[in-house]
């Protein structure tokens, strides 16, 4: 039996959440821990499964690429044996069994976008890049992905047959993806409709819950204190 675990290491400067370097652990054995009536006593706090530290240490596998950071967005495709990873200006397909890279897409924010971001007072070290914040299966042939795109969010479709980003199908990412890579955010695709909770403006002062994509008209919450007051969006 195989268990996939994740470890994150911090190296993020200043105000942003720590830069996350992805460490993926492949554990080749599990120790099952039960205690008497654990099944009948739902309040029993003994873990159902435990892994000894020495086995964890021996089974560690790690993936990283030079110049790439913030491996924060993960989607597991168990049937394909792949882990899709969204990072800073890159998207990867990794083999679950070996943690080796099968495919990769580089999706950088263009220089002019980064220049605009810097002119608006954002950091050219930590903020004015394209951080992949959303990466999920859209249908049997495509994935849908969104990035901060140097504080001008963009979304697009990935063709799974070629693992390539259709750069002619880019869509406005406002309401689908945060501007700020440090802001809390969550989203989900259900039957080709995207539901997201994010901040809807550059300053991060307009929280919104939105339904997009699909055949229906987009719907979002209004910016009213009776709807979302004193909110703090959390990541999923």
194 DSSP assignment: E
Q: What is this structure's pTM?
A: 0.72
Q: Which residues pair with 74 in a beta bridge?
A: 85
pLDDT of residue 43: 62
- Please give the share of the chain, as a percent, with pLDDT higher than 90: 46
The confidence band for 232, taking pLDDT boundaries of 50, 70 and 90, is low
The average pLDDT across 183-195 equals 88
Helix or strand (DSSP H, E) at 118: helix 111-119
- Please give the share of the chain, as a percent, with pLDDT higher than 70: 75
Q: Are 146 and 153 in contact (CB under 8 A)?
A: yes
Measure CA of the first residue to CA of the last residue in the chain; give whole Å: 26
Mean pLDDT comparison of 45-59, 79-93, 191-205, highest-scoring range: 79-93
Hey, where are the domains in the chain? 111-220
| pLDDT 10s digits, 136-183 | 999 999 999 999 999 999 999 999 999 999 888 899 998 899 999 998
| Residue 17 in this model has a pLDDT that exceeds 60 | no
Give the long-range contacts of residues 113-121, CB within 8 A, separation 24 or more. Answer: 113/149, 113/150, 113/152, 114/150, 116/150, 116/152, 117/150, 117/151, 117/152, 120/151, 120/202
pLDDT of residue 54: 78
The confidence band for 1, taking pLDDT boundaries of 50, 70 and 90, is very low
The confidence band for 3, taking pLDDT boundaries of 50, 70 and 90, is very low
| pLDDT 10s digits, 106-123 | 999 999 999 999 999 999
The confidence band for 71, taking pLDDT boundaries of 50, 70 and 90, is very high
The average pLDDT across 68-73 equals 95
pLDDT of residue 113: 96
Distance CA 221, CA 211 (A): 9
pLDDT of residue 57: 73
């Amino acid at each position: 039996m195989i268990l996939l675990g994740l470890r994150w290491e911090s190296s993020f400067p200043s105000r942003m959440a720590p830069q996350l370097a992805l460490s993926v652990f492949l554990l080749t054995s599990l120790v099952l821990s039960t205690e008497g009536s654990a099944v009948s006593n739902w309040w029993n706090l003994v873990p159902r499964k435990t892994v000894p530290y020495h086995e964890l240490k021996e089974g560690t596998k790690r993936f990283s690429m030079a110049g790439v950071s913030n491996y924060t967005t993960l989607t597991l495709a168990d049937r394909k044996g792949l882990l899709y990873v969204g990072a800073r200006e890159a998207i990867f397909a990794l083999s679950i069994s070996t943690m080796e890279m099968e495919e990769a897409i580089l999706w950088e924010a263009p220089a002019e976008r980064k220049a605009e971001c810097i002119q608006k007072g954002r950091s050219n070290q930590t903020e004015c890049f394209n951080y992949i914040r959303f990466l999920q299966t859209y249908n049997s042939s495509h994935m849908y992905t969104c990035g901060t795109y140097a504080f001008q969010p963009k979304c697009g479709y990935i063709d799974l047959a070629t693992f390539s980003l259709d750069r002619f199908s880019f869509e406005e990412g406002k309401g689908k993806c945060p501007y700020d890579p440090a802001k809390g955010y969550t989203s989900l695709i259900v039957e080709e409709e995207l539901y997201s909770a994010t901040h809807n403006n550059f300053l991060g002062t307009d929280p919104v819950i939105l339904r997009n994509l699909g055949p229906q008209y987009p719907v979002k919450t209004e910016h009213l204190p009776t709807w979302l007051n004193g909110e703090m969006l959390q990541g999923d």
